[in-house]
Structure formats: C-alpha cells, structure tokens
Structure 1
Amino acid sequence: MNTQHTIIEYAKKTIAEEARAISYLEELIDEEFSNAVETIHKSKGRVIITGIGKSAIIATKIVATMNSTGTPAVFMHAADAIHGDLGNILEDDIVICISKSGNTPEIKVLVPLIKSFKNPLIGITANRDSFLGKEADYILHAYVEKEACPNNLAPTTSTTAQLVMGDALAVCLLHLQGFSSRDFAKYHPGGALGKKLYLRVSDITSKNEKPEVALESNVRQIIVEMTEKRLGATAVTDKGVIQGIITDGDLRRMLTTNTSFEGLTAKDIMSPNPKSINNDAMAVDALERLEENSITQLLAEENGQYAGILHIHDLMREGIL
C-alpha cells in the first residue's frame, strides 16, 4: 500500500466533496436570504450569533468577519445563553442561530426564549424542516448532502457551508454599507493593509534622525553626520531648502575618484535634484517612488523645507513592503 498516494487521494476527495457542497449553495441563495440581509442592514442594533459545538466555532468566525467589515456582532454560546447570557440580547439586536440539524436540545430550549424577546431570528441550518427551520423568521439554507468524513459524522462539509453562508452575509452587508478599504483600515490599524491606507511619510520621518549638512560642509563633517544619524545618507540644504543628497555610494565614488579630500565640500560630492516627497504623502506612495527610481532613500519636505529622510528599511519594518 502506497501511504503517500493514499493520503493525497483522501485530501483531494475531501476538497472535492466540500467544493461540490459549496457550489450547490449558490442555488440556495434566494429572496429569503436577501430579506435577512436587508433586515440586518436596517437594524439599529447588533448581530448576536449563537450556536453549539462546531457551529459555535463557526459563529465566532462570522462574528469576527462582521466586526471587521462594519457590522457590529457579538458571539453568544447557545449553552451559556440559557444560563444568563441571554442578557446580551438588546432590544434592537438581531439573532443568528447556527445549527446543522436545527434540532439539538440546546437549540430547542433557546429558540423559544429568543422568540419571546421579539428579536428577529435568522437560522443557518442544513434542515429547513427542523425546529430551527420552522421557528426562525428567515432561513439561510446551508444544505449539504453529506460530510466529507467517511463515516458521515464529523462536521466537515457542513461547517464549511455554514462559514461560506456567513461570509456571503457579511459581504452583502459590506456592499450595502458602502464599506471601503479605508473603512477596513480603521478596524485593522495594526495590519499591513491598514498601514498602507493610513500611514504617512511624516509618521516615519518624525521617528527617524534628520541628517543634514550645508553646501560648504567638509568631508569630515559629512562623514560624522552620516555616521551619527545612521540612515546611509544625508540631505544637503541651504537655509532649510533641499539642494542635494549624499549617500554611502556617493562617498565611495568620491574615494575612488579623488586622491585628496582637501577642499572638497558637500556641494562637490552631492547628487543634485534628489528624489523627494511631501511629508504628508502616504507611505505607500513613497514606496512606489522608491521602486520606480531604484533607490533606497527618499528625502521628505514640508512647506518647501527639508523634513527628514525615509529609508526603504522603514517601510519593511512597518510591513508596507
């Protein structure tokens, strides 16, 4: 028996089974789904999502997706709900209950209690004819023919279907709310995408040293400034206005082309008209300029004055690159 071959076949079969089930869900999206989305969209409250067992785990993921895309959501475990957590449900909230069978004991106890609160109830279940299917105000039909588990027992295909139905719900709400990438960044300020959308050049240059020499600075002064500020370059300015840049590469070229440094000044060594960017510009725009010009440092200016240096390593550290 070829163990590796068997493992590969099992894996492919599992993926194929789940792919077929997910594909079929497309046919189950109907007016009831649309009405459920509209109900949530028009609500002034939150979405309370509950479930038991593996469905509870899926519920937590859907809650996370909704919260990150502009729909306030709270997870409530079905078993805890009947022991005090029903207090989480406020007047304007909408409850989503997830259960493959729709007939578990916890669901049969919980659903009537939710209904007594008069909160709209949305069910995500594989069984429309179940207790949940008949009691819910709206049903998102997450039907699956069978689990990917060979014994048709372990929740596999069914939980994937629940997850996809939850994603469809969240994305529809996202579109109705006009939720943009900038809105997404507000909820993900620590992530790479968030930083691309809110991080400005000034956020970086304000933390960096600000190497700067005058046009008449000598070689020793230039080397000391670059060594102390440790950014691999220094701006050359005149009354705060950028005149040029001197990089490590410029110093190396000076060493190979001059036998004497006596009398050499920053004006003789610098690269004039260096690439620069406004200090208020987005960091991602700075990255684009660095890449376009195949350089590693970019001078920043503000109101026509030198404001600092941004290094490509800064962008790597921030996760922009």
Structure 2
Amino acid sequence: MNDPDLVKRAIASAVKVAVEESEAVGRLESVIRSQPFSDALALCFDCKGIIYILGMGKSGLVGQKIAATLTSAGTPSVYIHAGDALHGDLGAIRPGDVAILISKSGQTKEVVQLIGFLNDQKNPIIAITNDENSSLAKAARVALLLHVKSEACPMNLAPMTSTTAMLALGDALAAALIVAKNFRPENFARFHPGGKLGWMLTAKVSDMIDQTKNPTLKEKDTLRNAVVKLVEYRIGGVNIVDEGGRLTGLMTDGDLKRIMVDSDGETLDKPVAEYMTRNPITANIEASAAETVDLMENRKSQIYVLPVVDKDHRPVGILRLHDIIRSHM
C-alpha cells in the first residue's frame, strides 16, 4: 500500500465502522428499556430447560457466542445451526425449552422453517431481527428489534453493524440474567476453573503467601526494630499489633524511607506507633485472588503491600502484588 490516498480512504472506512457500530449499540438502549426486552428476560429466567439459539451464517456465529456467554453465566444454552436443525437436530429441543431465533431480515428461509415445529411443541420464540414486519417477528412470542439503518461495510453488504447489534443484545440479556439470578463470582468460578480467570476466582490468599514470613512488631517497639525486620524478611512491610496480637498498623519500606528523609538522629529510637499507618486495608486469609487484586488496584493510589489477617484480625503474613503475579506464573 504505497498510495497515500488509498491508505487515507481505507482508514476513513475503518473509522466509519467504529462510529456507525457504536451508534447502533447506543440505539439499543431504547430496546433494552422496552417491554419486549423485559418479556424476553422473563421467558429466559423462567425457562426450566435449555435456551436454544438458532441462526445461519454470520448471525449463527453471533448465536454461538451468545450461547457460550449465557451458559458460563448460569443459564444453560446451546447453539444449533438452523440448517442442521432442519435435518434432525430439532430433536434436541424439548417442551419447556426456549428458542432464540436470529435473522437480520427475519426472512432467512431455514430460520423461518423452524417456526412451525417450535409452535407445535409450544416452545416460546424470541426473535432477534431488524424487521418488525418480517415472518420471524410476527411469529415470535417476543421480537427484539435491532434498529440497524445500514451496514458499516463500504459496500453495505457484509454484515457488520447488524452482527455487532445482535451481539450487544445477547450480552445485555446475559447481564440481566446474571443480576436476576443473583449469579455470583463463586458460581462463575465453578463453571470456569481453567485459565487466568479461573485461577483468579478460585485461588485464595492462603495459596499466595508464605505464612512462615510474618514480620510482626508491637506498637511500643522502635523504628530501629522495624528496620531490622524489614531487612530480615525483605517482603516490603511489617505488621504492627496490640498487646492482644490484633493488627493495628503497618510499616512499609516506603514509610520508613519517608520518615528517614525528614527525621533527626533520634527518630530510630521512637516507637513505631507514632509513625505507622493505623488501621490499614487488609486481606482476609480466605479471600480470593480476584477480590484481593481489586482491593489493591481499584483505588486512587495502588497498594503494593497488604497485611493478611485471620477471622480474629490477627496478622498471618503480608501479601505483595508481586506474590499474586508470581503465584500464577
């Protein structure tokens, strides 16, 4: 591509895709706030069987993703290619199942041919389509309209805007079901034990710290004692406890450096209670890796060293961001 004008026109076309698809997704807000979406949500929520998603071509590929998302989020769902359904796979759909049929035109032959069987078996049909007057929309119990004006494809031929809108509607339905079913991270972890995400949800703080390394001082101990502990353990912090052994504060390497810059020669002999961070943010020994990462990072200033406590608020160790990263390597 040595023609600058060609590159410019190509980039302009790519920008047009981003703009038009984002606008199409924005228009879906009115659909999601409408009664038909609430009706579709109720059908899926009340379904005692499986939600089957059927489509053809690019719409079918979107259907596969929607089915995968619903299933991983606690709503059993299976995708069937509409052509395969017409050649025997309709046998998988049982009374009590819900069918989501996807077709931009609402007239895709193979998809429309499914309607008779589904109606005979009294399977509720949810249509995702762009034409409210189409055969699919008219036959469906609920029709969710895409409101796509045109495809972002430079030729207005390849499905781009429509498939993005279909996917967004599917994700919106999945998100609504997650809330409606009170689906929790621990539930998600059961269905997704593999990979980094699975590890983040299933690993506990106890899996990431060495409980033999638990540098601890009492409030009356001196900063000099803190220096010794920091050098001895080299894990970035020292837990400070009261006479009952419960955590009251934290002294980190960074705290000590700042103190030494502003101090006089007698500072090292002063009690740590005068300089420690009181009532620091802590992680429970049984907390998940995901919860702990959120605790350390989702704040104005990132935390790199976190005291770990048991149910009685007694320190059992110190967790560093480095420990979380290393545990998953």
Normalised by the length of structure 1, the TM-score is 0.68
Return the index of the structure with the highest Cα Rg: 1
For the aligned residues, what is the CA RMSD?
Answer: 4.8
Distance in 2 between the 1:318 and 1:291 partners?
Answer: 25
Q: How much has 1:11 moved relative to structure 2?
A: 2.1
Q: How much has 1:286 moved relative to structure 2?
A: 5.8
Q: How much has 1:84 moved relative to structure 2?
A: 3.9
Q: How much has 1:90 moved relative to structure 2?
A: 3.1
Read off the aligned partner of 2:319 and give its amino acid letter.
L
Q: How much has 1:167 moved relative to structure 2?
A: 3.1
Distance in 2 between the 1:44 and 1:295 partners?
Answer: 45
Residue 95 (structure 1) aligned with residue 104 (structure 2) = no
Residue 159 (structure 1) aligned with residue 163 (structure 2) = yes
Residue 6 (structure 1) aligned with residue 14 (structure 2) = no
Distance 1:125 1:138, change over 3 A: same
Read off the aligned partner of 1:121 and give its amino acid letter.
I
Give a deviation string over 1:104-152, Cα, whole Å, max 9, x none. Answer: 3322433323333221111112233433233322222224333222333
Following superposition of structure 1 onto structure 2, how do residues 195-234 of structure 1 map, counting pairs within 5 Å? 202-204=205-207, 206-207=209-210, 209-212=212-215, 231-232=235-236
Residue 95 of structure 1 aligns to a residue in which SS? strand
Q: How much has 1:284 moved relative to structure 2?
A: 5.3
Residue 2 of structure 1 aligns to a residue in which SS? helix
Distance 1:306 1:79, change over 3 A: same
Distance 1:186 1:227, change over 3 A: farther
Aligned to 1:126: 130
Distance in 2 between the 1:314 and 1:196 partners?
Answer: 13
Distance in 2 between the 1:290 and 1:121 partners?
Answer: 45
Report the identity percentage.
36
Asked if the contact 2:53/2:99 (under 8 Å) is kept, the reply is: yes
Q: Number of paired residues? A: 303
Give a deviation string over 1:89-110, Cα, whole Å, max 9, x none. Answer: 2332100010122333322433
Give a deviation string over 1:31-71, Cα, whole Å, max 9, x none. Answer: 44433332222332332111111011111222233335443
Distance in 2 between the 1:228 and 1:120 partners?
Answer: 67
Residue 314 of structure 1 aligns to a residue in which SS? helix
Asked if the contact 2:237/2:250 (under 8 Å) is kept, the reply is: yes
Aligned to 2:64: 60
Query: Residue 307 of structure 1 is aligned with which of 298, 303, 316?
Result: 316
Distance in 1 between the 2:142 and 2:148 partners?
Answer: 18
Residue 94 of structure 2 aligns to a residue in which SS? coil
Asked if the contact 2:209/2:323 (under 8 Å) is kept, the reply is: no
Asked if the contact 1:209/1:229 (under 8 Å) is kept, the reply is: no
Give a deviation string over 1:253-293, Cα, whole Å, max 9, x none. Answer: 7xxx99xxxxxxxx97994585566663763586379986x
Residue 307 of structure 1 aligns to a residue in which SS? strand
Query: Residue 79 of structure 2 is aligned with which of 75, 78, 82?
Result: 75
Aligned to 2:152: 148
Distance in 2 between the 1:15 and 1:233 partners?
Answer: 47
Distance in 2 between the 1:279 and 1:145 partners?
Answer: 51
Distance 1:317 1:3, change over 3 A: farther
- The answer for unaligned runs of 5 or more in structure 2 is none
Give a deviation string over 1:143-179, Cα, whole Å, max 9, x none. Answer: 433322233321112212222332343344445x164
Following superposition of structure 1 onto structure 2, how do residues 171-186 of structure 1 map, counting pairs within 5 Å? 171-175=175-179, 177=180, 179=182, 183-184=184-185, 186=187
Distance in 2 between the 1:28 and 1:212 partners?
Answer: 57
Range 280-289 or range 191-200, more displaced: 191-200
Normalised by the length of structure 2, the TM-score is 0.67
Read off the aligned partner of 1:112 and give its amino acid letter.
G
Residue 287 of structure 1 aligns to a residue in which SS? helix
Distance in 2 between the 1:239 and 1:27 partners?
Answer: 58
Asked if the contact 1:185/1:194 (under 8 Å) is kept, the reply is: no
Asked if the contact 1:92/1:119 (under 8 Å) is kept, the reply is: yes
Distance 1:7 1:67, change over 3 A: same
